[in-house]
Chains A and B, each alone.
Chain A
Amino acid sequence: MAMEATKSKTSGYRMYLITFIELSLLTLLGVWLTTVNFISGLTATLILTIAAIQALIVLFYNMHLKFTEKILAIFAGLAISLMLLLIIVTMLDYIYR
């Protein structure tokens, strides 16, 4: 069923090659950023944004979320949102102590 969908869209080695190149370039971009900007808050934000983009590429392409049952992507989104919410709520304690 969904295996056919996965097959047709990813039945190329190409997709994995492209994601590897994208992810590597993003990694190198992140490393380069540490050498340039000295507005430390901004650098950290940018670097973590790059990491988030890399994560999305891995989740949607390498881990097939784009090609498989949609409910799985919804689950992943909800789970990650919950995780972020727990971190934010905990920081409510630490930021304001």
Chain B
Amino acid sequence: MNNNYISYLEYQGKHKGILGWILSTDHKRIALLYLYTIMSFFLVGAILGLLMKIELIAPGPTIMGPQTYNALFTLHGITMIFLVVIPGIPAVFGNFFLPIMIGAKDVAFPRLNLLSWWLYVAGALIALTSQFLGDGPPDTGWTFYAPYSLKVPTNVISAVFGAFVLGFSSILTGINFITTIHRMRAPGMKWMKMPLFPWSLYATGWIQILATPIIGITLLLIIAERVFKIGFFDPSLGGDPLLYQHLFWIYSHPAVYIMILPAMGVISEIIPTFARKTIFGYTAIVISSFAIAFVGYLVWGHHMFAAGMSAQALFFFSLLTFIVAIPSAIKVFNWVATLYKASIDMQTPLYWAISFIFVFMIGGLSGLFLGSIATDVYLTDTAFVVGHFHFIVFGGMGFAFMAAIHYWFPKIYGRMYDKSWANTGWFIFFLGYLSLYLPMFYLGMSGMPRRTYDYLPKYHGANIISSLGAIVMLFGLTIIIINLVRSARFGAKAETSPWGGSTLEWKVPSPPPLENFEEIPEITKGPYEYE
């Protein structure tokens, strides 16, 4: 490891300054472009969420009326789902580490990669114009259900078109990663010697490619309905509003697997490193990733149990929903088995990874109550659902993202963050998070509806706990972000392999040089051989 090399951060190519970043085709710089834009939108979404929780701290209007609240939860959903959790881990950590972890110098289509980021920015800006154009911000929810979204005079078209453009960003990333993994693995790295994070990106890529076009066409149909009165989802013209829901969820359910599979891939990297032990059940984890991806296509109707589907459809979707839980559970067993009797090194990434398992399990188990139709009819459209998906999505993808940034930070920036502040931030965040979301299960079971700014007085106490939890959580988030931002510039210099990780990214300098490897390595061992 020599110190006289030019890292990707310092490299000066054809373009200087900021142009050297926003016109760069280097996967590492593109990853950071995504990191900064995604984190910015995450903060926007978080502030929107905070405003919603402040409104909900007391019954009746507290700081806003119902129209504003509806617009807020719509934008919160659009921002978080389309701008943060769907691109999140693949765009940031997939872009940065996929080539390095398979021994490649870049992805298969570097220019397409840059285009993906530009499409992300374009889609985000188009969606944001919906907030400012004449007819007012959309209030349909991020789900844009027909017939309301077809008729309401608010700015639905710009929001929906923004999401359409964002879909292309996701598709191109999927195409890039699949091709990269097929064609650019280093000599000797057979499929079953590839680490689990690239495997998760491979399974995810297939979902990005085969599911996203369906939301694409669905969004175009909303536009066609509003502009041309085409009528597919309008009952007065012969259409079926439920068909909209089918089309919407045929994408949006697999989308949650786009969110969670890479997250699980991150956890599968972190746990062996800090257990100093090879992952338990490598093959099972690979197979379960594909099982999740495939079965995940067949459960979308569980978002529509109360909408009016046939009994046969209800039965099918409920059954498949229970089945899809199995491969996820298999992964949890594998992670826990890896930790069992291991030489555990408690560091910040492992705190996040273990708390991920905890909150992901709560999310998954609460999902069973929703997957069972008899209980779902009481819980659907209540705060219970809100609690469920925040545990599984925020707890799942969010905690994994935090784990990933704390794991790979030294490699990305060549500096280490302050570990005590990181652990303190984690702890405060975690407590606030539990206080924010656990009460929602109670509230839902007691009957509090979701997506409403007002509620009965009997729900007041639990709502106070929830809203205060949001404030604590955001305080913890502030500590975490300040620590990371400071340390990127002023942190202590990091070594090549500060955690003792065994995968290829820990063999290249921190931060890596432009082309990652001086010489493409020849692979002879499996990815997690520690003894």
Find out whether A and B make contact in their complex, taking CB atoms under 8 A apart as touching. Answer: yes
Docked CA distance A97–B242 (Å): 12
A92 and B297 form a contact (CB under 8 A):
no
Q: How far is the CA of A79 from the CA of B316 in the complex (A)?
A: 22
| Residues in A whose Cβ lies below 8 Å from that of B310 | 92-97
Cβ-based interface call for A28 (8 A) = no
- Separation of A45 and B190 alpha carbons in the complex (Å): 45
Taking a contact as CB atoms under 8 Å apart, the answer to whether A96 and B311 are in contact is yes
Do A93 and B313 touch (CB < 8 A)?
yes
Are A96 and B312 in contact, with the CB atoms below 8 A? yes
* B246 & A82 in contact (Cβ 8 Å cutoff): no
Task: Name the segment of A49-57, A60-68, A83-91 touching the other chain.
Answer: A83-91
A79-B210, A93-B242, A93-B246 are known contacts. Are A85 and B297 too (CB-CB below 8 A)? yes
For the complex, count residues of B whose C-beta is within 8 A of A.
Answer: 15
Hey, what's the 0/1 contact readout for B244-260 against A, CB within 8 Å counting as 1? Answer: 00100010000000000
Question: Which residues of the partner chain B approach A94 to less than 8 Å between Cβ atoms?
Answer: 310
Contact of B313 among A71, A79, A85, A96 (CB under 8 A): A96
Are A82 and B297 closer than 8 Å at their CB atoms?
yes
Interface size on A, residues (CB 8 A): 13
Contact A86 B313 (CB under 8 A): no
Interchain CB contact under 8 A, A92 and B246: no
Nearest CB to that of A89 among chain B residues?
B298
B123 adjacent to chain A (CB < 8 Å) = no
In the complex, what residues of B have CB within 8 A of residue A79's CB? 210
B residues 412-464 near A (Cβ < 8 Å) are none
Complex contacts, B316 vs chain A, CB 8 Å = 89, 92
Q: Contact at A86–B311, with CB atoms within 8 Å?
A: no
Q: Chain A nearest CB: distance from B362 CB in Å?
A: 29
Contacts of B182 in A (CB 8 A): 71
Contact string, A31-66, partner B, CB cutoff 8 A, digits 1/0? 000000000000000000000000000000000000
Residue of chain A at shortest CB distance from B313: A93
**18 CB-based A-B contacts, threshold 8 Å:** A79-B210, A82-B210, A82-B297, A85-B297, A85-B298, A89-B298, A89-B301, A89-B313, A89-B316, A90-B246, A92-B310, A92-B313, A93-B242, A93-B309, A93-B310, A96-B310, A97-B309, A97-B310
| 7 tightest Cβ-Cβ pairs between the two chains A and B | A96-B310, A93-B313, A96-B312, A93-B309, A97-B310, A92-B313, A93-B310
- Measured CB to CB, the residues of B under 8 A from A are 182, 210, 242, 246, 250, 297-298, 301, 308-313, 316
